[in-house]
């Protein structure tokens, strides 16, 4: 078993950021607090579980008002900053030549604008990986990303010009590799 935890606390002053209308806003202040976890558990000789997660809070701290925002953003969550992200991987060494990995990836919901009026709901994805190592230095690998073909956004934000914007994530995809070690 291995286990790592890291915590951070940071304050920033005189931050320049771009609001949802693409205006540069100066004089900002932000705070960033969080904890990260990285752990690996050996369940059996052939089965292990890896958990990696981060919980963080990123906030605007200065009472500045981006153009077009009529409310104070002081204390609001920073836009496009989910609080919880992480993944869990179950690894199975089937035998000396075959291994299988299933991974769950989680992205928490988050606000997509400074005023915290618009939100992306977050997503959960499942990925599957298989690898076969032959005895003559050749290997075969296959992976399926987004196994259940979930609709999701790699990133989402809000624009005062066009509203909600989603940078669409990949659909279910199969990747196959044949390689050699030399």
Residues 118-144: pLDDT tens digits? 999 999 999 999 999 998 889 999 999
List of long-range contacts for 131-136, beta carbons under 8 Å, 24+ apart: 131/98, 131/99, 132/97, 132/98, 133/96, 133/97, 133/98, 134/97, 135/97
Q: What is the pLDDT of residue 78?
A: 92
The residue extents of the domains of the chain are 33-56+75-180
Instruction: Please identify every stretch of the chain with a pLDDT value under 50, giving residue numbers as ranges.
Output: none
The pLDDT assigned to 68 comes to 59
pLDDT value, residue 67: 61
pLDDT of residue 70: 67
Quote the pTM value: 0.86
- Alpha carbons within 13 angstroms on the beta-carbon side of residue 178 total 1
- Which residues fall within 8 angstroms of residue 58, CB to CB, at 6 or more apart? 30, 31, 32, 77, 78, 81
């Amino acid at each position: 078993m291995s286990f790592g935890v890291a915590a951070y606390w940071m304050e920033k002053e005189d931050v320049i950021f771009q609001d949802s209308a693409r205006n540069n806003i100066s004089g900002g202040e932000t705070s960033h607090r969080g904890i990260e976890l990285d752990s690996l558990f050996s369940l059996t000789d052939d089965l292990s579980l890896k958990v990696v997660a981060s919980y963080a809070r990123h906030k605007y701290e200065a009472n500045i008002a981006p153009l077009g925002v009529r409310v104070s953003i002081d204390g609001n969550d920073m836009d496009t900053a989910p609080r919880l992200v992480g993944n869990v991987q179950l690894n199975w060494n089937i035998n000396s030549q075959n291994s299988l990995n299933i991974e769950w990836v989680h992205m928490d919901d988050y606000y997509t604008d400074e005023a915290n009026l618009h939100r992306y709901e977050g997503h959960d994805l499942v990925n599957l990986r298989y690898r076969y190592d032959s005895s003559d230095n050749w290997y075969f690998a296959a992976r399926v990303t987004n196994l259940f073909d979930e609709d999701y956004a790699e990133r989402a934000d809000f624009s005062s010009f066009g509203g909600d914007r989603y940078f669409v994530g990949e659909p279910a995809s199969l990747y196959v590799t044949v390689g050699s070690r030399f």
